[in-house]
Structure 1
Amino acid sequence: MKRSLAALVLALPLSLTAAPFSELTLSHADNLRQHAMQSDHAYRVVESLTTEIGPRLPGTHADQRAVDWAKARFEAMGFDSVRLEPVEVPHWERGFADARITLPFPQPLVITALGNSIATPDGGLEAAIIRFATLADLEAADPAAVKGKFVFIDHKMARFKDGRGYGPVVKARGRGAVAAAQKGAVGLLLRSVSTSGHRFAHTGVMRYVDGVTKIPAVALSGPDADQLTRMLALQSDIQVKLELDTLDHGVATSYNVIGEIHGSSKADEIVLIGAHLDSWDEGTGALDDGAGVGIVTAAAQHILALERRPQRTLRVVLYAAEEIGLIGAKAYRDRHKDTLDNHYIAAEADFGAGPIYRIDSRVNDSALSAFTLLTEQLAPLGVERGHNASWGGPDVSVLPVLGVPVAGLAMDGTDYFDYHHTPDDTLDKIKPEAIQQSAAVYTLFAWLMANAETELRPIPLPSQ
């Protein structure tokens, strides 16, 4: 029986069918790999950002200086176009914060205000505490047992390479104050969302909802949470005094900073690699997310340095205000809603400095063989193939529900939550060899995706 031409093509080995990458593309990928693994550009970017700007809380003067810094750096790099896209952001500052046990074992506590928390009344608040192991336990509690007290949620975070211990615990940071207020509590004391045993409190954003009384919310260092638990085992009536002088300045303007290398033959199609420019104000935002800024900026710099233009446009986006709710990401999504169909693929570096050990994706099943070949190009850098259910990173996670393909370049985050959102998030925590490898992986990913001959859509849509 004669077989159709289509059947014959499908029966051919992968190497004999239409290749996802041309020989020229692969040859240049080798050059880029060698160049990137001899470059310290990513580390130098983070060094500059954290030294010259430091912490970059959205809406502050430092945030604006970071935008100016990024724009000037992009222009000096030689991008074909550089622009700022305005984003309206809340401007909150933590001000003074103090907490102490007043009875029966007087001593100070190490705390930090959670982002968006209101201040305490003048003179502070003093009340007994009631402990819950999890947010769910609080939600199931009798309001009579909670009324008039500080709620203390003592949910410990588990350590994993991929950071999956974060999700179950961070819910208490986001929703804990509302749940506590609904039970009649006067404030929230939260064990830091952290894997560290160091006496640092980890900040992060929390939220209020309309119709529920706003109460102040703080994070306790892990050792201080343990201290409170030991005290409660000795005596049930532990009194705490809390003073917060947080400041709400209303709305300010920040910017998404965008640089582009225009494509040679498919310039209307976009490969997006991003990071977020803002940071919390406790440390200098080196790991979160100065490292990501360094990685994606270096990837573009490596491609520019070897002077071979990609077919598709490479767009680097440094998002505003990720820390307080993906605000820059949502603004980007809404501003570019009419051209999202032109986004070939998107990925974001926002989990420290690496190294990257796996590549995940969310693409059409027919494109999986191309990702197998892409992984082969990344294998010399220690990267293996992962799954096809990626969200692509926090800021680009708003895109898959609109049909945009994404990739997740998974970084080793074993110790990421030791430093995350603390005064200890500083440049010395970045290993130069790790960020160099991560930047090299992003360089090859961006180059190969910008020259791929594979259709990635329609993607398997995630549930919303």
Structure 2
Amino acid sequence: MRLCTLALASLCMAGPARADIPPLSEVAISTATALRDEHSTAGVAYGLVESLTTEVGPRMAGTEADVRAVAWARAKFEALGFDSVRVEPFSFPYWRRGHERGEVLSPFPQPLAVTALGGSEGTGDTPLEGEIVAFDSLAELQAAEPGAVEGKIVFITQRTQRFKDGRGYGLSVIGRSSGATEASKRGAVGLIIRSISTNSDRFPHTGMMRYAPDVKPIPAAAVSNPDADLLINMLGRGEPVRIRLDIDAETRGEAVSYNVIGDIVGRERPDEVVVIGGHLDSWDLGTGALDDGAGVGITMAAGAAILKQEQRPRRSVRVIAWGNEEQGLIGARAYAEAHAGQMSKHVLGAESDFGAGRVYALRAGVDARYWPVLEQIAAVLAPLGIAFEREGGGPGPDVIPLVQRGMPWAQLAQDGSDYFDYHHTANDTLDKIDSEALDQQAAAYAVLAFLAAEAEADFGRVPAQ
């Protein structure tokens, strides 16, 4: 998962409400209310996540497990009765993780819990040894005196703050994504960061990073929060702290993966689509239950509930199990490019990619003239404990490339208070998920997707980014 926002002020275009935009019909509201209340989604999402994590497990893009995950998703769409199921391929550089070990050499030798960051170079045949130099943030590293890190290993110590909406992640993740580039520019030989994490477990958190094209790649890894604290305590003794990193990792050739797409074909305007989904890939440390097996299960279950209704909605509902989100929205970007000519027919998009916490708010980036229709949708969602908020929020990560081409977005904001306790770790496993919470989310996505697809009017367009 990559928590992303856009310039929301430019997405939610100002303008008076239009009297000529027809409201949702009583029949549509009645059907959506039944979708919300009839419990047709009960246990479905959890069963899908259990199946994915048990039968496939971790599924990093480009691996054999990723291939099995694509086959799993296609089979599940077909078993749930989607009208049309297909896969769309895309390619990307294949990054491989091998062994990874870390330890303090002096002044107080002991092991470290470390994991390589995605995209990192390895340390080669000889482990990397060096003195660490600590910085509170990437900005502090960028302001360092010339020569301050020459030949040393940079250590970024910034903590990730806990928030319901996860905004602490966006404040600290730049150290992960750009830290190695900034350290290498200044002559450092390696980078370690405090995990982008809100917990105190001894699980290091991985995640994607990239090198600028004009810098020498250096090994980059994360240490768990307790290990970061340990290193800070050692530095507080006033002696140099030397560590060893032994990382086997490399980017090697090209790989192919797929977006897996299940369509519910609309009865009147089948070429117009409402898109929901989650991303199918995961990092390799856990089983990808929260990130993002939950989102795949939730949106598949929502589609399955819509399929049980007597009549298809006016437009098509498209559920996408996105490929390779973790390494840079690769599948989403490929989809946006492949469907660029049909983007005007993409009426609304929403993605579930923030774990398994309950939905607490509906937000959107639509032409402001269409807020009355969103208010009607919100009224159906309200008994699920979901408030309507006209400000804030943003599209899910895989929705962003479509929004950049003008597609309006909706957000069913989840409570992510504990999401970054488990994110990108070996602790991202099924036991963290509550089935009833998934039921609430699946019902919310079913209501949103059905009513957006059933509405007579669309939701306008958003400005190109």
* Counterpart mapping for 1:397-416 below 5 A: 397-416=400-419
Which SS does the other structure have where 1:234 is aligned? coil
Give CA-to-partner distance per residue, 1:409-445, whole Å, 9 cap, x none.
Answer: 1000000000000000000000111111011100100
The range that moved more, 228-237 or 415-424, is: 228-237
Aligned to 1:300: 303
Distance, in Å, in 2 between the alignment partners of 1:243 and 1:266 is 57
1:457/1:11 Cα in 2 relative to 1: closer, same or farther (>3 Å)?
closer
Is 2:326 aligned against 1:319?
Answer: no
Give the CA deviation at 1:87: 1.0
Whether 1:135 aligns to 2:138 is yes
Instruction: State how far apart, in whole Å, the 1-side matches of 2:402 and 2:112 are.
Output: 41
Cα shift at 1:353? 1.2
C-alpha distance in 2 between matches for 1:222 and 1:146? 23
* Partner SS, residue 117 of structure 1: coil
Report the Cα distance in structure 1 between the residues aligned to 2:322 and 2:453, rounded to whole angstroms. 21
2:167 match: 164
Match in the other structure for 1:276: 279
Instruction: State the AA in 2 paired with 1:152.
Output: F
Partners of 1:96 and 1:354 lie apart in 2 by 33
Scaled by the length of structure 1, what TM-score is found? 0.94
The count of residues paired between Structure 1 and Structure 2 equals 450
More displaced, 126-135 or 77-86? 77-86
Match of 1:173 in 2: 176
Deviations, residues 274-328 of structure 1 (Å, cap 9, x unaligned): 1100000000000000000000000000111233211100101111100000000
Contact 1:134 1:153 in 2 (8 A): yes
Is 1:61 paired with 2:59? Answer: no
Q: Whole-Å Cα distance in 2 between the matches of residues 22 and 101 of structure 1?
A: 66
357 and 396 in structure 1: CA distance in 2 versus 1, 3 angstrom threshold: same
* Unaligned ranges ≥5, structure 1: 1-9
Judged with a 3 Å threshold, the aligned counterparts in structure 2 of structure 1 residues 448 and 267 are, in CA distance, closer, same or farther, namely same
* Paired residues for 1:401-440 under 5 Å: 401-440=404-443
Code of the residue aligned with 1:445 in structure 2: it is L
| Structure 1 stretch displaced more, 28-37 or 212-221 | 28-37
Q: Is the CA contact (8 Å cut-off) linking 2:21 and 2:370 kept in structure 1? A: no
Alpha-carbon distance, 1:38 to partner: 5.8
1:148-176, Cα deviation, whole Å (9 max, x unpaired)? 00000000010000000010100010000
Structure 2 vs 1, CA of residues 330 and 18 (structure 1 numbering), >3 Å: closer, same or farther? closer
In structure 1, distance between residues paired with 2:258 and 2:39:
29
Partner of 1:7: none
Inter-partner Cα distance in structure 2 for 1:115 and 1:11: 46
Q: How does 1:148-163 map to 2 (within 5 A)?
A: 148-163=151-166
Aligned residue type for 2:315: R
* Offset at residue 37 of structure 1 (A): 6.3
CA drift at 1:18: 6.3
Cα distance in 2 for partners of 1:222, 1:93 equals 24
Q: Residue 240 of structure 1 corresponds to which residue in structure 2?
A: 243
Q: Determine whether 1:45 maps to 2:48.
A: yes
CA distance in 2, matches of 1:406, 1:318: 17
- Report what 1:116 is aligned to: 119
Q: Cα offset for 1:211?
A: 1.7
Q: What SS is found at the alignment partner of 1:442?
A: helix
Q: Which runs of 5+ in 2 are unaligned?
A: 1-15
Q: Partner letter of residue 159 of structure 1?
A: R
**Cα-to-partner distance string for 1:325-350 (whole Å, 9 max, x where unaligned):** 00001000000000000001000000
Q: Which residue of 2 aligns with 1:359?
A: 362
Within the alignment, does 1:375 sit opposite 2:384 as a pair?
Answer: no
Q: Which residue of the partner structure matches residue 288 of structure 2?
A: 285
* 2:228 aligned with 1:225: yes
Does the residue aligned with 2:233 lie in a helix, a strand or coil?
helix
Give how far 1:235 is off: 2.3
**Counterpart position of 1:443:** 446
Match of 1:331 in 2: 334
Residue 13 of structure 2 corresponds to which residue in structure 1?
none
Asked if 1 retains the 8 angstrom alpha-carbon contact of 2:176 and 2:207, the reply is yes
Aligned counterpart for 2:458 among listed residues 449, 455, 458? 455
Residue number in structure 1 paired with 2:258: 255
| 2: CA distance, partners of 1:392 / 1:338 | 21
RMSD: 1.6
The one of 52, 72, 76 aligned to 1:73: 76
Computing the radius of gyration over CA atoms, which structure comes out larger, 1 or 2? 1
Indicate conservation of the 8 Å contact 1:35/1:302, yes or no: no
| Alpha-carbon distance between aligned partners in 2 of 1:19 and 1:374, rounded to the nearest angstrom | 13
The corresponding residue for 1:193 is 196
